[in-house]
Amino acid sequence: MNPPKASRSAPDFSPILLIAVHTEEEFDWSKPFDRRCSAVTHLRELGRAHDIFAREAAMPTYLIDYPVASSIEGIRAVTAVADGTEAAIGAHLHPWVNPPFVETVSVRNSYPGNLPRAVEKAKLGALTDCIVRNFGRRPTAYLAGRYGFGPGTLAILQELGYRLDLSTVAMGDFRGDGGPDFRAWGNGWRWEGEPPILRLPHSAADTGLLCRNARRLFDAEQVAALRRIHVPGVLARLGAVRRTRLTPEGFSLAALRRAARMLIAAGIRILVFSFHSPSLVAGFTPYVRDNADRDDLLCRIGGFIRFFKEEFGGRIGGPETVLAAAAAEGRKANDA
């Protein structure tokens, strides 16, 4: 199904960066999903990132899952950085570690949107209640684990009072192991449903000679014959087509700057910059193998935030800032 039409911002719209921290448990990404893997010891280091946010006056959105929201260690760590600040707390649903535990743990069921609607709603309801109970805040922003937005997710978000969904990845394709297909989605935000949910994709840009407006002119990945002779890889090595997610995980600061410039030039004014909290400690994600990798990641986080503010005059905003800006732009468009 094609997504609803995305909204473009007026040229004078001041760019906004939403910093989405996937605040979650520790598990081996190369092994099968396991309900017993629910430790959050790495959150002792959450202050390393939050110190950067505070220094840059760039408060993040901590999207927390059930092991974080329900454990003493997780509650203390997030409360320590979020209380008394403008940092926001949202919900992040990893179904295999989120009650009720009624489904078979499998790759397909790791995408929340693949679950029966009643199970998906029960799990998100349990997570929402847990956040309210332990943090005194009702989350309005949602991120499906593994970006698993499904056919019933929108209605569930509406019923539970959510207003912002961050589950989409611009141009993303997760069909390989049963996940969603976002290839038709660009980077623009869009309102969907009634009451409306603002759907804001995780930002990504195609850069290179064969790209325009942050998208590739031709997708060699979709042609089997070209895949067989490795044309997509050749184009990437030549720099003709490269896809960059706005994340410090796996991308250099130079690549992040290049991607952001392409997105802003294409008229995108609300961007999402994200990373996983376990990357703050060596050995928990493929992106951070040692302390040197961790320090480099932190440097990229701070460097990109400074770049966004200095190059574009951008502001860092949480869910309420983004919702208000999108609503205002919508009113302007209707009045035009």
Instruction: Decide: pTM greater than 0.85.
Output: yes
Distance CA 273, CA 281 (A): 19
| Same domain, yes or no: 232 and 111 | no
Q: How confident is the model at residue 212 (pLDDT cuts 50, 70, 90)?
A: confident
Q: pLDDT tens across 73-96, in order?
A: 999 999 999 999 999 999 999 999
| Same domain, yes or no: 174 and 223 | no
| Same domain, yes or no: 56 and 127 | yes
Nearest to 131 by CA among 158, 81, 80, 93: 93
Q: Report the amino acid identity of residue 122.
A: A
| Same domain, yes or no: 185 and 239 | no
Q: How many CB atoms lie within 10 A of CB 169?
A: 22
Whether 1 is in a domain gets the answer: no
% of the chain with per-residue pLDDT over 70: 87
Q: How many domains does the chain have?
A: 2
Q: pLDDT tens across 227-241, in order?
A: 676 645 655 655 667
Whether 3 is in a domain gets the answer: no
Distance CA 186, CA 267 (A): 11
Whether 4 is in a domain gets the answer: no
| Same domain, yes or no: 80 and 185 | yes
Q: Give the range of the structural domain holding residue 213, as residue numbers without chain letter.
A: 204-245
